[in-house]
């Protein structure tokens, strides 16, 4: 697997002092910040949108290269992923990770005449995200088979291939849920075919669950409650990293 990337989910941070929490987390050793965007439609919860991302961006230095320290990994749990790409780019998002399930059900195009399979497919959305100068990620809910990804990953046209795959290890919507080990075979199958792919896991990752995720082949580790609920977040970040890199 590629080196560990630890991406604390700021969903579990103190929203009343989010800027400080973000800069502290990077100083505590985090590589990326995982920014959970929920719209109350795709998931039964709401968080915040681009205006808040703009504000917290000023507290965290931009990455010097794509995927570098300080990357804002925006996990878009929203029903209309195409609609918000430009706003999030402007707000300072670096990696725009949309849900496969949202993309295929989305009306996607602002212009109804553009609403064709070709233009609303996941690969078209990935290209659109890349065209805006962002890295692209594609996320799968627990109920979605990993098989939907094979065609997308095998594409010869790199502009249409995601930079990261996110395998959810809880049903998206809330922090602090129980880790679903049932999702790890997806990670293993992806890692067997794609040794260099960034494979992210999100939900229930902590000291007790990280080893099985690492063995399966995950290298991008999201952790919300485990990091922000800890007395010493830097220690938890270091332990997660060690489990992946050892
Ligand atoms: C859940 C979010 C996660 C969440 C993880 O819908 O996508 O990023 O913050 O929280 P923990 O690590 O507490 O399970
Ligand atoms: Zn998330």
| Res 152 pLDDT > 60 | yes
Binding-site residues for a divalent metal cation: 34, 36, 75, 202
| Res 202 pLDDT > 60 | yes
Residue 180 Cα to ligand 1 middle (Å): 12
> How large a percentage of the chain has pLDDT more than 70?
94
Q: Is the CB of 73 under 6 A from ligand 1?
A: no
The protein residue whose alpha carbon is closest to atom 6 in ligand 1 is 172
The per-residue DSSP string of 190-230 comes to HHHH-TT-EEEEESS-STTTHHHHHHHT--EEEESHHHHTS
Task: Tell me the pLDDT tens digit for each residue of 129-147.
Answer: 999 999 999 999 999 999 9
Task: Tell me the pLDDT tens digit for each residue of 37-63.
Answer: 999 999 999 999 999 999 999 999 999
Which residues have C-beta within 8 Å of that of residue 56, sequence separation ≥ 6? 10, 18, 19, 22, 35
Q: Using pLDDT thresholds of 50, 70 and 90, give the confidence band for residue 118.
A: low
Atom of ligand 1 nearest to the CA of 206: 12
Per-residue pLDDT at 179: 98
**Ligand nearest to C-alpha 178:** 1
| Res 167 pLDDT > 60 | yes
Whether pTM exceeds 0.90: yes
Per-residue pLDDT at 153: 98
Residue 35 Cα to ligand 2 middle (Å): 7
| Res 115 pLDDT > 70 | no
Report the pLDDT averaged over residues 61-81: 98
| Res 69 pLDDT > 70 | yes
Per-residue pLDDT at 109: 47
Query: Catalytic residue at 202?
Result: yes
In this prediction, does ipTM exceed 0.95?
Answer: yes
């Amino acid at each position: 697997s590629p080196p560990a990337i630890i991406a604390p989910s700021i969903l579990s941070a103190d929203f009343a002092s989010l800027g400080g929490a973000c800069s502290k987390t990077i100083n505590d050793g985090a590589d990326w910040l995982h920014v959970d965007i929920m719209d109350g439609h795709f998931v039964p919860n709401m968080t915040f949108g681009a205006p808040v991302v703009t504000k917290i961006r000023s507290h965290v230095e931009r990455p010097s290269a794509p995927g570098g320290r300080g990357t804002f990994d925006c996990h878009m749990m929203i029903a209309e992923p195409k609609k918000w790409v430009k706003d999030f780019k402007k707000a300072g998002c670096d990696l725009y990770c949309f849900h496969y399930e949202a993309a295929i059900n989305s009306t996607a195009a602002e212009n109804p005449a553009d609403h064709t399979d070709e233009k609303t497919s996941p690969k078209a959305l990935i290209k659109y995200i890349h065209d805006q100068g962002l890295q692209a990620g594609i996320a799968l809910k627990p109920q979605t088979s990993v098989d939907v990804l094979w065609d997308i990953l095998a594409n010869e046209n790199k502009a249409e291939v995601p930079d990261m795959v996110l395998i959810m290890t809880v049903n998206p919507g809330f922090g602090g849920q129980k880790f679903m080990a049932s999702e790890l075979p997806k990670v293993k199958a992806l890692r067997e075919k794609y040794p260099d792919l960034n494979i992210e896991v999100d939900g229930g990752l902590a000291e007790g669950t990280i080893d099985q995720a690492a063995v399966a082949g995950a290298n991008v580790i999201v952790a919300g409650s485990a990091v922000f609920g800890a007395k010493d977040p830097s220690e938890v970040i270091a332990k997660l990293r060690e489990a992946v890199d050892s």
